[in-house]
Amino acid sequence: MASVGRNMVAPLLVLNLIMYVIVIGFASWNLNHFINGTTNYPGVAGNSATFYFLVFAILAGVVGAASKLAGIHHVRAWRGDSLAATAASALVAWAITALAFGLACKEINVGGYRGWRLRVLEAFIIILMFTQLLYVMMLHMGLFGNQFGAGYAADHHGYGAGDHHNKGLGTGAAATRV
């Protein structure tokens, strides 16, 4: 994969945004019923890891959705500076999602009755951990690759009279890139 373009990043961005919004909905519903003490409600129940999982799931959902808003800005602008901000926020969102993933695995491992809403939330977090990782990898391929978009022209890296960072170093002749 020499370059990662808008056509590859945008569908995954939309998919992750929709999934993070669903995670916010399920996590907030479950957390509300868990705090109210209605764990005997058919959709909640859980075990000793449930509270921690719900807190990190809602945190992952909010940070992930905010990171996708930065991603939408990057897809529209498609410049190197927006790429750096998007890649950084996506990496933070993935890290929090990975923490929620670990707690989801722990909750599944501990066992006990978990309602269907809690199992759906666990499934979404597990799927999001991998799709967000794929999204972060795509963004970092663009960050470390050569295809930044229209905002980064190749002449910013040359030496000579036209380079304002290295005044006086060139001979005035056109510099060649190696």
Average pLDDT over residues 54-60: 96
- CA 140 from chain center: how many Å? 11
Q: Which two tokens stand for residue 140?
A: 């970092």
Dihedral (CA of 1, 18, 72, 53) sign: negative
Residue 90 has pLDDT above 80, yes or no: yes
Characterise 43 by phi-psi region: left (phi > 0), alpha (psi -120 to 50), beta (else): alpha
Q: Residues 6 or more apart from 58 whose CB is under 8 A from it?
A: 23, 24, 27, 28, 31
What residues pair up with 114 in beta bridges, in sequence order? Answer: 45
Average pLDDT over residues 64-93: 91
Residue 131 CB-density burial (10 A; 0-12 exposed, 13-18 middle, 19+ buried): middle
Indicate the DSSP class of residue 160: S
CA dist list (Å): 54 to 28, 43, 94, 105: 8, 14, 16, 13
CA distance 52 to 57: 8
CB 139 within 8 A of CB 3: no
- Distance separating the N- and C-terminal Cα atoms of the chain: 22
pLDDT per position as a tens digit, 16-48: 999 999 999 999 998 888 888 765 565 566 788
* Higher pLDDT, residue 146 or 137: 137
